[in-house]
């Protein structure tokens, strides 16, 4: 436990020290947190609630947005510790916690907060409760109901929580073909479903009253309509898993999930993991899939891997897997604190997206003051989200121009720029093009100012700032 706390404190210090700015998704989640609700355009509400509490407690700081991340992940490690120890004893529990906290995706996720962070804690809690029931550590009635509540809370973080529900149904069906006696009965499964519905109901009701906004976005995000049937994408996706959990860890995970499947617990772990990996691999082949879309499978795989290490005394494999991932974690912590990948920086430098926004805000403030304007019209979501953060608690309004009239993100839906019917207003439009955008009722009244800042060794962010006046007609 002491090691887990030490790692989490170091990760927290890295967040405090980091010069890197918020990412676009983090800024958008923060924007949501300023208007608490039971759902938002692209995601359920839990991430906004978590960030909102931290922001209220610690103030308007980048570190305040990110600080919950490492502590939620250490809680997940503790939960998995208990889950594994219920199966194979204290040694398995310790291995589960160490393997989890060292995963590359957890190292990254302890610096950049995302919807996966609360999701993984919720699903790991549900897994622990399932194991507790199967190992006679918990009363089935109470355990399965609370398990459902945990999955429902996970649903409020990310709809990938539904994989757990599908896995339980698959496992229960498989188990009934194998054994006549089941600890978990149909009644218990119904209690699980009830608990899940109760916890998830705020967002379900929100979707019902908002034209299933988030659900429809989820379908668009899957991109099934844009079919490519590309084996190269499948290969890149599978290679991506080596980066998500580490090369040795991923190989070990797949290696231990082999026949025979006599144990009900092993069947449970398979049903909660392999279908997700298989489904996302197929998705990558058909269209595309991000490497992190498989994260819901890894709590079960980590628990089973930890049990295998403890039960077969394969501690050398555990040390190798966690040692490699630990080295990766040190690089990630160093990167977080320095704001640079150093000698490992690729030509594209992914950290460029976390730089230059404060400088843009400074340029915009000067342009706003110069032209007596209090409205910024952005041409993209990233600019709208980050300028919303930097102009927090001011009289400056941020809008996004939706050129096709079909909302594709939170800002186009809730902060769209459009015609006015009353008094004229001055504005500054931020655009990547060297000619002024065609905004309704706007007359441009000055040459564009240029905001250009270095964001990586070979990249600059160059944006044009156009001053104009919008007049009702």
- Asked which of 211-225, 246-260, 408-422, 456-470 is least confident by mean pLDDT, the reply is 211-225
Q: Residue range 189-215: average pLDDT? A: 91
Q: Which of 117, 127, 134 is nearest to 148 (CA)?
A: 127
Could you say which DSSP state residue 295 is in? G
Q: How high is the pLDDT of residue 473?
A: 78
Q: How high is the pLDDT of residue 153?
A: 98
CA angle at 409 for the pair 288 and 224, rounded to the nearest 5°: 25
Whole-angstrom distance, CA of residue 214 vs CA of residue 72:
24
Q: How high is the pLDDT of residue 100?
A: 98
Tokens 């209690």 locate to 191
Angle between helices 90-102 and 298-312 (to 10 degrees): 130
Q: How high is the pLDDT of residue 358?
A: 97
Confidence of residue 226 (pLDDT cuts 50, 70, 90): low
Percent of the chain with pLDDT over 90: 76
Q: Which of 246, 296, 243 is nearest to 274 (CA)?
A: 296
437 contacts 429 by C-beta, under 8 angstroms? yes
CA angle at 60 for the pair 56 and 61, rounded to the nearest 5°: 115
67 contacts 57 by C-beta, under 8 angstroms? no
Q: Which of 296, 283, 298, 285 is nearest to 235 (CA)?
A: 285
Confidence of residue 447 (pLDDT cuts 50, 70, 90): confident
Whole-angstrom distance, CA of residue 19 vs CA of residue 284:
34
Q: Which pair of structure tokens corresponds to residue 351?
A: 């950290």
Instruction: Give the distance, in angstroms, between the CA of residue 106 and the centroid of all CA atoms in the same chain.
Output: 11
Q: Greater confidence, 84 or 287?
A: 84
Q: How high is the pLDDT of residue 225?
A: 56
> Is 224's pLDDT higher than 70?
no
439 contacts 401 by C-beta, under 8 angstroms? yes
CA distances from 192 to 130, 188, 363, 381 (A): 10, 6, 54, 39
As beta bridge partners, residue 456 has 459
Q: Which residues of 325-354 are buried (b: 16+ CB within 10 A; e: fewer)?
A: bbebbeebbebbbeebbeeeeeeebebbbb
Q: Which pair of structure tokens corresponds to residue 332?
A: 């990630």
Residues 6+ apart with CB under 8 A from 175: 182, 264, 267
> Is 215's pLDDT higher than 80?
no
Mean pLDDT score across all residues of the chain: 92
Q: Which residues of 199-212 are buried (b: 16+ CB within 10 A; e: fewer)?
A: bbebbbebbeebee
Q: Which pair of structure tokens corresponds to residue 368?
A: 């706003």
- Coil vs helix vs strand at 466: strand
- Coil vs helix vs strand at 272: coil
Tokens 């001055």 locate to 426
Burial class (CB in 10 A: 0-12, 13-18, 19+), 410: buried
pLDDT digits (tens, 9 = 90+) for 89-106: 999 999 999 999 999 999
Q: Residue range 49-64: average pLDDT? A: 97
303 contacts 249 by C-beta, under 8 angstroms? no
Q: Which pair of structure tokens corresponds to residue 47?
A: 């991430």
Instruction: Give the distance, in angstroms, between the CA of residue 151 and the centroid of all CA atoms in the same chain.
Output: 16
pLDDT digits (tens, 9 = 90+) for 274-301: 999 999 999 888 887 888 899 999 999 9
CA distances from 87 to 93, 360, 454 (A): 9, 54, 53
As beta bridge partners, residue 429 has 377, 466
As beta bridge partners, residue 463 has 451
pLDDT digits (tens, 9 = 90+) for 301-335: 999 999 999 999 999 999 999 999 999 999 999 99
- Asked which of 155-164, 198-207, 261-270 is least confident by mean pLDDT, the reply is 261-270
Q: Which of 248, 5, 316 is nearest to 104 (CA)?
A: 248
Confidence of residue 62 (pLDDT cuts 50, 70, 90): very high
Confidence of residue 221 (pLDDT cuts 50, 70, 90): low
Q: Residue range 196-218: average pLDDT? A: 86
Burial class (CB in 10 A: 0-12, 13-18, 19+), 101: buried
pLDDT digits (tens, 9 = 90+) for 141-178: 999 999 999 999 999 999 999 999 999 999 999 988 87
Q: How high is the pLDDT of residue 223?
A: 56
Q: How high is the pLDDT of residue 462?
A: 95
> Is 184's pLDDT higher than 80?
yes
Could you say which DSSP state residue 227 is in? -
368 contacts 396 by C-beta, under 8 angstroms? yes
Q: How high is the pLDDT of residue 182?
A: 75
């Amino acid at each position: 436990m002491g090691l887990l706390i030490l790692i989490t404190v170091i990760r927290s210090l890295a967040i405090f020290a980091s010069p890197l700015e918020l990412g676009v998704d983090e800024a958008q989640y923060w924007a949501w947190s300023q208007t608490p609700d039971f759902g938002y355009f692209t995601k359920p509400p839990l991430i906004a609630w978590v960030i909102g509490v931290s922001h209220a407690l610690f103030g308007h700081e980048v570190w305040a947005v990110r600080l919950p991340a490492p502590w939620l992940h250490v809680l997940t490690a503790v939960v998995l510790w208990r889950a594994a120890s219920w199966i194979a004893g204290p040694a398995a529990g310790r291995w589960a916690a160490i393997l989890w906290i060292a995963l590359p995706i957890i190292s990254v996720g302890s610096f950049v907060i995302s919807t996966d962070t609360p999701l993984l804690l919720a699903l790991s809690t549900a897994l622990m409760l399932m194991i507790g029931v199967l190992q006679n550590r918990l009363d089935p009635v109470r355990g399965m109901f609370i398990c459902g509540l945990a999955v429902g809370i996970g649903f409020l973080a990310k709809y990938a929580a539904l994989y757990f529900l599908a896995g339980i149904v698959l496992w229960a069906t498989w188990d009934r073909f194998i054994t006549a006696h089941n600890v978990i009965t149909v009644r218990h499964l119904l209690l699980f479903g009830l608990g899940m519905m109760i916890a998830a109901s705020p967002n379900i009701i929100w979707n019902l009253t908002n034209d299933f906004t988030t659900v429809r976005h989820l379908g668009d995000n899957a991109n099934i309509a844009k079919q490519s049937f590309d084996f190269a994408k499948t290969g890149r996706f599978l290679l991506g898993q080596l980066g998500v959990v580490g090369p040795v860890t991923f190989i070990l995970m797949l290696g231990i999930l082999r026949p025979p499947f006599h144990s009900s617990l092993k069947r449970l772990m398979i049903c909660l993991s392999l279908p997700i990996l298989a489904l996302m691999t197929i998705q990558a082949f058909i269209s595309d899939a991000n490497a992190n879309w498989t994260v819901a499978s890894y709590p079960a795989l980590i628990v089973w891997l930890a049990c295998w290490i403890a039960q077969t005394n394969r501690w050398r494999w555990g040390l190798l897997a966690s040692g490699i991932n630990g080295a990766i974690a040190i690089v990630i912590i160093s990167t977080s604190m320095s704001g640079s990948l150093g000698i490992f920086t690729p030509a594209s430098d992914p950290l460029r997206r976390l730089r230059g926004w404060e400088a843009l805000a400074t340029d915009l403030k000067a342009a706003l003051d110069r032209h007596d304007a209090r409205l910024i019209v952005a041409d993209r979501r990233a600019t709208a989200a980050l300028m919303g953060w930097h102009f927090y608690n001011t009289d400056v309004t941020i809008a996004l121009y939706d050129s096709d009239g079909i909302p594709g993100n939170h800002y186009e839906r809730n902060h769209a720029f459009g015609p006015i019917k009353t008094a004229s207003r001055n504005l500054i439009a931020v655009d990547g093009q060297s000619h002024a955008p065609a905004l309704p009722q706007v007359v441009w009244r000055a040459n564009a100012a240029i905001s250009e800042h270095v964001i990586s060794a070979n990249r600059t962010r160059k944006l044009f700032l156009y001053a104009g006046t919008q007049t009702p007609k």
